[in-house]
Copies of this chain bind each other. A is one copy, B any other.
Amino acid sequence: MLHAGMRIGELAALVGVSTRTVRHYHRLGLLPEPERLANGYRDYRLRDGVVLARVRRLAELGLSLDEIRDVLADDRGRDLREVLAELDADLARQQDAIAARRRRLAVLLDEADLHPDSTVPPEMAAVLRELPAGGSKLAELDRALLTMVGSKAESGGMAELFGPLIEPEAVARGHRLYARLDELADADPRDPRVAELAADLADHLPEEMAVAVAASLGDGENGDWLRLVSAELSRAQAETFRRFVRVLRERAANREGRER
Measured CB to CB, the residues of A under 8 A from B are: 1-6, 10, 13-15, 44-47, 49-50, 53-54, 56-58, 60-62, 76-78, 80-81, 84-85, 87-88, 91-92, 94-95, 98-99, 101-102, 104-106, 108-109, 112, 116-119, 141, 144-145, 147-148, 151, 221, 224-225, 227-235, 238
Contact = CB atoms under 8 A, between A and B. Distances in A.
A84 B58 contact: no
As for how many copies of this chain the complex holds, the number is 2
Contacts of A106: 88
Contacts of A15: 151
Contacts of A6: 224, 227-228
Taking chain A's interface residues, is the majority helix, strand, or loop, or is none over half, making it mixed? helix
B232 A77 contact: no
Contact of A234 (B1, B57, B77, B101): B1
Contacts of A87: 105
Given A5-B228, A46-B229, A49-B225, A98 B94 contact: yes
Contact of A232 (B14, B46, B54, B119): B46
Given A1-B231, A45-B232, A101 B105 contact: no
Contacts of A99: 95
A87 to B, nearest CB: 7
27 contacts: A1-B231, A2-B234, A2-B235, A5-B231, A6-B227, A10-B224, A14-B225, A15-B151, A45-B228, A46-B144, A47-B144, A49-B148, A50-B147, A53-B151, A56-B151, A57-B119, A62-B101, A77-B112, A77-B116, A77-B118, A78-B116, A81-B109, A84-B105, A84-B108, A84-B109, A95-B95, A95-B99
